[in-house]
């Protein structure tokens, strides 16, 4: 008998849909890779002791928007024996950390909405007139459904006709004569998409697509860490049709399921307080997301999370990650600067300062130094900078609003903002990925997957995110926006005692 219960088994099948992420290969190569990895895991006797015996019956399919990475992945597995024998799981991958299409087209494109009726019918669907009474989803969710339902096709053998997911379900269950359960599950982006896909399948189970003509199948969903896909009318529709057959899993310290509901999203900067103090850059990034949520609400009413009554998993701040890891911090800062992150800042930074900063950071690589607080980490950098370019650091910055602000003050603030944001993002990644198998009691299987295929990166190093120029630009512009806000606020307080100079500590507030 397998060690894990059925819910834990579904979670692990969900997780395995992401094994093609964080790799640079063509969609065809990644699909072949994912096929081999799933087969290796499903036939591994150690894995079977945890999840039982399963086989892939459709897919996996890897879809890419023309780049040499996976933007989406999905497969269907069938239970061969034990608890849940004869049941099916449709596993939908989440956002690939290196997929710009995933981030900006399937995650963050929430400023416009699409009626539920038209969702998934095209890559981009014209938004409707303002109407809060009809179910609507974000353009991002609609686009994801379009990929899952129309773009992902799979052939069972060479020369065999390709089938979409729906065509497979129609053929598989055409002559069904025994009850079975079909569960749709995904994590992160896959959480929002799996719930939406389940609702589309529910709408078309007995009519329309009619993939269950003999009425033998029970459709259920297990979205994990998913953001809200649509408005209040959509949430009510989902809750009425699938609410009693859905297990929604979310961690109270994971920012992703806080999106895109305005009040939940507003709480994100302070999720880890007082262990991690949110930087103004983090607040600026969240403000940008709030603006997107607000724009979407102007068309369909506020975004509303599915099954809001679902209690959250009681996540805990990982205290091992609230102290700066010097090597990860230094690595991230170097990548940020070398990727021209400073050019997005409004105040010019002397090239000599940039070069000196890079030299100081590179000299810290490999040092076994522990810093109890972020302040201490930045203070060490500033002390090393003073030794090399002290005169430049004490020179004033051309800032009419704050003539007492020096280059050193500004560099100090920049280091706090970027480093503090990295510290916050590190905790986010932990809470969004590794915390789930820990709280669901499946860490043994999590590490078993890595032992079967050591190069599978199931969660990313936050420092590596700065290798992407779009991420660097977003953070750089957020830092710049935070600085501009401080200058504006400071000018408005010109009669206050604090107006005399802009101290580095005030920057970090």
* pLDDT 10s digits, 458-484: 444 556 666 667 677 777 777 676 656
DSSP string, 193-250: HHHHHHHHHHHTSSSTT-S-TT--EEEEEEEESPPP-BBHHHHHHHHHHHGGGB--B-
Asked if the peptide bond before residue 274 counts as cis, ω within 30 degrees of 0, the response is: yes
Residue 212: left (phi > 0), alpha (psi -120 to 50), or beta?
beta
Nearest to 55 by CA among 46, 42, 45, 44: 42
Contacts of 414 (CB under 8 A, 6+ apart): 342, 345, 349, 479
Mean pLDDT of 437-454: 87
φ and ψ of 115, to 5 deg: -65, 145
Q: Provide the pLDDT for residue 221.
A: 99
Of 69-78, 189-198, 386-395, which gets the smallest average pLDDT? 386-395
Of 11-25, 224-238, 482-496, which gets the smallest average pLDDT? 482-496
Confidence band (pLDDT; 50, 70, 90) for 93? very high
Confidence band (pLDDT; 50, 70, 90) for 348? low
Mean pLDDT of 114-127: 96
The CA distances from residue 227 to 94, 195, 216, 463, in Å, are 11, 10, 31, 24
Question: Is-above-0.85 flag for pTM?
Answer: yes
The strand pair at 163-164 and 153-154 is best described as antiparallel
Confidence band (pLDDT; 50, 70, 90) for 124? very high
Helix (H) or strand (E) holding 179: none
Mean pLDDT of 179-203: 98
Domain map (residue ranges) of the chain:
6-250, 326-425+466-508
Torsion angle, CA of 244/246/248/249, rounded to 10 degrees? 120
Helix (H) or strand (E) holding 344: none
- Percent of the chain clearing pLDDT 70 (strictly above): 87
Confidence band (pLDDT; 50, 70, 90) for 334? confident
Q: Is the pLDDT of residue 498 over 70?
A: no
Length, in residues, of the chain: 509
Mean pLDDT of 438-457: 81
Contacts of 452 (CB under 8 A, 6+ apart): 37, 40, 41, 44, 47
Of 234-248, 323-337, 372-386, 486-500, which gets the smallest average pLDDT? 486-500
Q: Provide the pLDDT for residue 296.
A: 94
Buried b (16+ CB within 10 A) or exposed e, 62-87: bbbbeeebbbbbbbbbbbeeeebeeb
Q: Is the pLDDT of residue 407 over 50?
A: yes
Half-sphere exposure of 173 (CA within 13 A, CB side): 28
Greater confidence (431 vs 398) lies with 431
Helix (H) or strand (E) holding 151: none
What CATH architecture is 6-250? 3-Layer(aba) Sandwich (3.40)
Q: Provide the pLDDT for residue 88.
A: 99
Of 11-25, 60-74, 322-336, 444-458, which gets the smallest average pLDDT? 444-458
Residue 438: left (phi > 0), alpha (psi -120 to 50), or beta?
alpha
Q: Provide the pLDDT for residue 98.
A: 82
Confidence band (pLDDT; 50, 70, 90) for 401? low
Q: Provide the pLDDT for residue 290.
A: 95
- Report d(CA 200, CA 144) in Å as an integer: 12
SS (H, E, C) 329-342: HHHHHHHHHHCCHH
Residue 138: left (phi > 0), alpha (psi -120 to 50), or beta?
beta
- Report d(CA 169, CA 98) in Å as an integer: 31
Mean pLDDT of 36-41: 95
Helix (H) or strand (E) holding 489: helix 469-492
Tokens of 160: 């065999």
Mean pLDDT of 291-312: 95
Q: Is 459 exposed, middle or buried (0-12, 13-18, 19+ CB in 10 A)?
A: middle
3-state helix, strand, coil in the chain (%, to 5): 50, 10, 40
- Percent of the chain clearing pLDDT 90 (strictly above): 59
Among the ranges 150-164, 237-251, 272-286, which has the highest mean pLDDT value?
A: 237-251
Q: Provide the pLDDT for residue 508.
A: 36
Mean pLDDT of 238-250: 98
Q: Is the pLDDT of residue 344 over 80?
A: no
* Whole-number average pLDDT of the chain: 87
Asked if the peptide bond before residue 260 counts as cis, ω within 30 degrees of 0, the response is: yes
Of 134-138, 143-147, 281-285, 300-304, which gets the smallest average pLDDT? 281-285
Q: Provide the pLDDT for residue 226.
A: 98
Mean pLDDT of 379-398: 83
Nearest to 283 by CA among 505, 31, 475: 475
Q: Provide the pLDDT for residue 509.
A: 38
Of 14-23, 119-128, 233-242, 351-360, which gets the smallest average pLDDT? 351-360
Q: Provide the pLDDT for residue 84.
A: 92
């Amino acid at each position: 008998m397998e060690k894990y219960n059925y819910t834990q088994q579904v979670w692990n099948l969900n997780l395995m849909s992401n094994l093609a992420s964080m790799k640079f290969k063509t969609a065809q190569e990644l699909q072949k890779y994912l096929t081999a990895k799933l087969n290796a895991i499903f036939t591994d006797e150690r894995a079977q002791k945890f999840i039982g015996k399963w086989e892939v019956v459709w897919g996996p399919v890897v879809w890419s928007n023309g780049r040499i990475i996976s933007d989406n992945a999905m497969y269907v597995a069938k239970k061969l024996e034990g608890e849940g024998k004869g049941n099916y799981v449709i596993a939908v991958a989440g956002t690939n950390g290196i997929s710009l299409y995933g981030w900006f087209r399937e995650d963050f494109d929430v400023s416009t909405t699409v009626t539920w009726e038209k969702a998934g019918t095209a890559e981009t669907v014209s938004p409707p007139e303002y109407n809060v009474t009809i179910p609507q989803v974000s353009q991002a969710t609609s686009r994801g459904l379009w990929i899952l339902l129309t773009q992902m096709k799979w052939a069972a053998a060479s020369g065999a006709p390709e089938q979409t997911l729906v065509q497979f379900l129609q053929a598989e269950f055409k002559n069904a004569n025994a009850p079975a359960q079909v569960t749709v599950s995904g994590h992160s982006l896959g959480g929002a998409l799996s719930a939406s896909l389940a609702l589309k399948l529910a709408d078309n189970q007995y009519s329309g697509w009619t993939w269950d003509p003999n009425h033998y199948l029970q459709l259920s969903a297990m979205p994990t860490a998913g953001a809200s896909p649509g408005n209040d009318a959509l949430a009510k529709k989902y809750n009425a049709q699938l609410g009693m057959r859905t297990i929604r899993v979310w961690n109270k310290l994971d920012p992703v399921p806080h999106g895109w509901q305005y009040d939940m999203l507003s709480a994100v900067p302070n999720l880890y307080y007082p262990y991690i103090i949110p930087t103004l850059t983090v607040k600026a990034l969240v403000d940008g997301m709030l603006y997107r949520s607000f724009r979407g609400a102007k068309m369909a009413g506020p975004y509303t999370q599915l099954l809001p009554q679902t209690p959250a998993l009681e996540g805990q701040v990982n205290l091992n990650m609230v102290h700066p890891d010097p090597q990860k911090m230094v690595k991230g800062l170097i990548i940020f600067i070398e990727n021209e992150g400073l050019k997005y800042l409004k105040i010019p930074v002397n090239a000599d300062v940039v070069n000196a900063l890079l030299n100081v950071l590179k000299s810290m690589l490999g040092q076994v130094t522990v810093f109890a607080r972020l302040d201490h980490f930045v203070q060490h950098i500033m002390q090393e900078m003073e030794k090399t370019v002290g005169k430049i650091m004490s020179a004033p910055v051309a800032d009419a609003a704050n003539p007492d602000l020096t280059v050193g003050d500004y560099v100090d603030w920049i280091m706090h903002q970027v480093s503090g944001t990295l510290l916050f993002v590190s905790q986010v990644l932990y809470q969004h990925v590794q915390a789930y198998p820990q709280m669901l009691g499946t860490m043994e299987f999590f590490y078993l997957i890595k032992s079967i295929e050591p190069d599978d990166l199931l969660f990313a190093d936050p420092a590596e995110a700065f290798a992407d120029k779009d991420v660097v630009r977003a953070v750089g512009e957020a830092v710049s926006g935070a600085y501009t806000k401080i200058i504006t606020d400071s000018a408005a307080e010109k009669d206050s005692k604090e107006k005399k100079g802009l101290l580095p500590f005030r920057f970090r507030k």
